[in-house]
C-alpha cells in the first residue's frame, strides 16, 4: 500500500469495460483513489465536479475524445497530469497529444507494469511540485519578514548607520566606515534571494543546488 503522500486522485476514462476494470483494480491495489468514466462525456461531467491529480484517458471514445478530456482536465487545474492511451497509435496522434500537454502516451495493448511506471513517475513529479510550492511559500514568508525588519529601524526612528553602532568588545580597533548602510545590505540580500528564486523557478537550479545556495546566502 502506498503512503499517503503517494496516493493520487485518478480519473480513468475508458470505454473498454475489461481494460477499465483492470486499471481500476490495479491502481486501487496500489493505494490510489480511482473514479471510472465509461466514455468521454462522463469524464467531462466528473471533471466539472472534481479535480484530479492524474487523468488516464483513451484517445478515441464516444461523446468526447481523449484530447477534449485532456483540455477539460487542464482547464480545471493546469497542474493535472494526463496520460493518453490509444489503440490507433501514430506519430501524428502522439505529437498532437504532447502539444496539447499530455504527460505520457501509451499504445494499446500494454502491460500493467507500463501503467505502473507512468503513474509512479507522475507521483514523483506531483510530489516535487508540491514540495516546490511549499518551499516557495516559505521563501515568500521569509522575504516578507525581511521587508518588515528592513522598515523597522526607520519606523522606530533609530539610527541605522554602522559607524554609530556600539563597537563589539572583540573588535581589535575602530569599526571601519562603509559606503553602504544596513538598509542597503538588506536590499542586496533580498535582490540575491529573488535572483536565486527565479533561477529555481526556471529550472536552472536543482532542488539541492537551490537549498545549498539559499543556506549560504542566509549565513
Structural domains of the chain in order of their starting residue, each with its CATH number: 4-128 (3.40.50.2300), 129-159+177-218 (no CATH)
Kindly tell me the burial class for residue 68, based on how many C-beta atoms sit within 10 Å of its own C-beta (0-12, 13-18, 19 or more).
middle
Which of left, alpha, beta for 206 (phi over 0: left; psi -120 to 50: alpha)?
beta
pLDDT in tens, 79-127: 999 999 988 766 677 777 888 889 998 988 889 999 999 999 999 888 8
What is the rounded radius of gyration, in angstroms, for the C-alpha atoms of the chain?
26
More confident residue, 156 or 15: 15
How far apart CA 101 and CA 58 sit, in angstroms, is 15
The pLDDT of 60-88, averaged and rounded, is 92
Enter the DSSP assignment of 12.
Answer: E
Amino acid at each position: 500500500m502506498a503512503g499517503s503522500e503517494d496516493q493520487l486522485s485518478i480519473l480513468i476514462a475508458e470505454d473498454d469495460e475489461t481494460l477499465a476494470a483492470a486499471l481500476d483494480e490495479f491502481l486501487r491495489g496500489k493505494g490510489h483513489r480511482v473514479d471510472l468514466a465509461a466514455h468521454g462525456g462522463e469524464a467531462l461531467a466528473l471533471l466539472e465536479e472534481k479535480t484530479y491529480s492524474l487523468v488516464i484517458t483513451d484517445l478515441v471514445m464516444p461523446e468526447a475524445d481523449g484530447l477534449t478530456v485532456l483540455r477539460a482536465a487542464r482547464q480545471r487545474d493546469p497542474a493535472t497530469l494526463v496520460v493518453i492511451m490509444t489503440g490507433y497509435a501514430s506519430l501524428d496522434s502522439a505529437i498532437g497529444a504532447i502539444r496539447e500537454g499530455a504527460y505520457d502516451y501509451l499504445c494499446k495493448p500494454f502491460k500493467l507494469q507500463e501503467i505502473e511506471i507512468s503513474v509512479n513517475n507522475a507521483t514523483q513529479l506531483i510530489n516535487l511540485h508540491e514540495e516546490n510550492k511549499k518551499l516557495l511559500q516559505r521563501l515568500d514568508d521569509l522575504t516578507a519578514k525581511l521587508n518588515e525588519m528592513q522598515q523597522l529601524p526607520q519606523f522606530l526612528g533609530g539610527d541605522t548607520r554602522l559607524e554609530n553602532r556600539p563597537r563589539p568588545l572583540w573588535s581589535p580597533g575602530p569599526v571601519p566606515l562603509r559606503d553602504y548602510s544596513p538598509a542597503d545590505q538588506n536590499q542586496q540580500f533580498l535582490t540575491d534571494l529573488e535572483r536565486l528564486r527565479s533561477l529555481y523557478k526556471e529550472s536552472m537550479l536543482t532542488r539541492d543546488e537551490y537549498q545549498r545556495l539559499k543556506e549560504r546566502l542566509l549565513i
